[in-house]
Amino acid sequence: MNIIIAIVILTAYIVTVCIVNKQIPSSLSASVFFLPAKGVCIWSVVIAAVVFLMVPTYIEKTSDTVKFLAFLACAGLLFVGGAPLVRDRGDMAYKVHLGAAVLCAVSSQVLLAIDNGWLLLSWVPWICAFVWITKEDRWRTGVFWAEMTCFADTFIFCSI
């Protein structure tokens, strides 16, 4: 049940941001640029809520040998939420955000590769789109769709 609530919260945030701003952000993290200055805390609350709702099931479903990867993925996502994306790439908050995002993504997908490798087949559409779109142009929303693939894989893993 917690996973369903986490999915609803994240989906509601994403859909609202996309509808209000009439575009898909280049990454989920870049959606903070669409929020008013006082609204950036919404980003942190959404990400923290998703993590806290997901973590018990995520750790429970993960095999003992890779539970640390579930912990690293969740810790990374908490840091992502706690250090919202900033435009200044030299800023420490940017470096923390980016490092935590990479830690979360890599940990979650390595965990899936070990525990339920077939879930990684969900990357096939992203890879095909990447090859198709980037052969002629830059794919502005490629990171966003990669993040959605990571979330979908993780939510499916927790649901089965």
d(CA 59, CA 68) in angstroms, rounded, equals 9
d(CA 101, CA 154) in angstroms, rounded, equals 15
- Residue 84: per-residue pLDDT: 82
d(CA 47, CA 81) in angstroms, rounded, equals 5
> Tokens for 24?
């898909």
d(CA 108, CA 72) in angstroms, rounded, equals 8
Residues of the chain with pLDDT under 70: none
CA atoms within 13 A on the CB side of 43: 25
- Residue 103: per-residue pLDDT: 97
- Residue 80: per-residue pLDDT: 94
Task: Give the three-class secondary structure for 5.
Answer: helix
- Residue 151: per-residue pLDDT: 96
Instruction: Catalogue the E-assigned strands of 4-158.
Output: none
Phi and psi at 144, nearest 5°, equal -55, -50
Cα three-residue angle 105-92-108, rounded to 5 degrees: 10
- Residue 119: per-residue pLDDT: 95
d(CA 144, CA 147) in angstroms, rounded, equals 5
- Residue 137: per-residue pLDDT: 84
> What is the H or E stretch that residue 148 is in?
helix 142-159
- Residue 52: per-residue pLDDT: 97
